Structure 1
Amino acid sequence: MAQISPLRQRMIEDLTIRNLSPETQRSYVHHVAKFSRFFGRSPDQLGYEEVRAYQAHLVGRRVSWGALNQTVCALRFFYGVTLGRSDLPERIAYARTPRKLPIVLSADEVVGFLQAVKGTRNRVALMTTYAVGLRAAEAARLQVTDIDSSRMIIRIEQGKGGKDRYVMLSPQLLEILRVYWRLTKPGRWLFPRRDGRGPIHPQTLGIACRAACEFLGVEKRVTVHTLRHSFATHLLEAGTVLLGHRSLATTTLYAQVSTAVIGRTASPFDQLRMEITPPG
């Protein structure tokens, strides 16, 4: 097993102290390591000019906006926190946010897409994703005990930014989940891996989406996040307002929102005609 350098160990400790998620920690360490390998030198021996040259290299390779800014976040953290060079982070520029409209499916397209997903587990997981507007990682890590049928809510633990929140539990989704539970008898994880040793990997849901697109021959690039965008759009089109906000993004900032309000909020999933028994 390769020995971790003192510098990398210090960065990992800095990330841990600040309670950043394991995913964020891995990402930051990965990007700093790539930066170091590009120049063939320890990153503490590199400065602003090297950072600038590396950013230009990434832009030249047409690296995605998300990857560019993950790199910026990692390098700003490394120089500002781990090396304590307060002069440098502010000089490392973020890439400009691209203004792109998300792909949104109509209600009929959502039905057709979900019915094209192969496998009971994957289909129900993606139904759940749309029904409550989840991210892929949030859907993958759902536990059976997160489903609260008495209050008609679902608890989402450690979502984006390490935050917990509650979302509505659609009556139609609840019936589907009950049938799914009787058919598959999952243990701790609602959507377990095939070997039962943990939750399904988020990428598995992405693969299921691509397979459904190929089966349908659709031109739209439908991803797990497309279902989340579609949920938000359909919720707002229905005129649903939580805490007086019409913006779903603003509403989700309020961790203290009443679970009673959330439980009474209708999911757009209930407007779809979906089969209660999910086919295999």
Structure 2
Amino acid sequence: MSEVELIAQWRAHLTDARRRSPHTVRAYVSAAQRLLRGKQLISWDEVAAVEAHDLRGHLANRRAEGLSNASAARELSALKALIAYARSEAGDPDPSAPRLRGPRLKKGLPRPVTPDEALNIAELIDETASEDWIGSRDRAVLLLMYGSGLRIAEALSLRGRDAVLAETLMVTGKGGKQRLVPILPITREAVSEYAKQCPWPLTADEPLFRGAKGGPLSAGMVQKAMARARRALGLPDTATPHALRHSFATHLLGAGADLRSLQELLGHASLGSTQIYTKVDAASLLETYRGAHPRAKKR
């Protein structure tokens, strides 16, 4: 076989057999291409022979190129899946992936989840779920929280009629207060993909997000899924579903959003609740300065 044939088969497996999201397929295919080219692998037998020390060296090279810890952990997950598939194709009676732990991030002060970490969390949850539709469901919920600043209860309150989202969504928050929030293309795509895969009928007035047995999805299940993902990615305990909403606010503020607009997007009753993000953003800026400026003194 050739690299092109291996990649085509791997893409078809992810798309047709595993029904992974287009974003996940792109990421997994890219990771596979880098490994195949770096190691000059042209058959499933050769891919199946890749061991932990080979992956360790490959990831070390990727880290030297500037890959973050979270992205390195995600790439490792993709390559483990590739090797497990290769071993299955090669007829290995125990087609498991090499045992290799992903990189760990140093624990420090609580901080917002970065854009890179947020997407890695959502994708890893999708990829490691017990069923494909459950992975798509949890990914959609988390992207609603990160991309639109929804509270977890607000995301879970959506109905079947919301399965096809527009560029904005009217959300009912605390105290029955309504607000208009933006919906990113990646979020619309994620919700649409979940709706296609959900085995339960999504009627207009029933909950959009369903549990494994068809009832309303509970916040606890989303929290457990994110806890598994943050451990796999080496993220701190502060990386909870609600932290995605905090990150939404912090990143908008850092990009120049004014407090009044942010207050409206978050659904805060008072501006005082929103002002906390000025402190978070200032703390993040100071941390970056101390780490990057040659004259900065760390205290």
TM-score, normalising length from structure 1? 0.47
TM-score, normalising length from structure 2? 0.44
Q: Between Structure 1 and Structure 2, which shows a larger proportion of helix residues?
A: 2
Q: Which has the higher contact order (CA 8 A, sep 6+)?
A: 1
